[in-house]
Amino acid sequence: MPETTRPCSFCGHVIEPGTGKIFVKTDGKKFFFCSNKCEKNMIKLKRKDRETRWTMKYAQEKAIITHHKKASGKKKMIRRKKTKE
C-alpha cells in the first residue's frame, strides 16, 4: 500500500511519508503532527490552531474575516446617515 502525504492536524502543513508523529487518543481518534512544536501546542498547551499566528488555519480564518470586513464596508457606504430631527 503506497504511503500518502497527510496534513498536520495542528498547522496544516504537508507531512512527507516517513516523517512526523501520530498521536492516538484513547477514543481512537488519530492526530498527525509534522513537528514536536505542533504536538506540544495542541496536546500539552491546548492551544487553538485558529488563534496561533504561524498556522495555515489562522491565515485562512484571517482571510475570511478581512473579506467580510471589506464586504460590510461597502454596505456601510451605501447606507444613509440618520439626520437629527
Taken in order 64, 65, 68, 74, the sign of the CA dihedral is negative
CATH number for the domain spanning 53: value is: 2.30.170.20
Number of domains in the chain: 1
pTM > 0.75? no
Q: How far apart are CA 36 and CA 74, in angstroms?
A: 44
Strand partners, 30: 24
Is residue 85, in this structure, part of any structural domain at all? no
Is residue 57, in this structure, part of any structural domain at all? yes
User: What pLDDT, in 10s, does the model give residues 32-84?
Assistant: 999 999 999 999 999 988 888 888 888 888 777 666 666 655 544 445 555 66
The range of the structural domain enclosing residue 44 comes to 6-74
User: What pLDDT, in 10s, does the model give residues 14-38?
Assistant: 999 989 999 999 999 999 999 999 9
Q: How far apart are CA 80 and CA 74, in angstroms?
A: 12
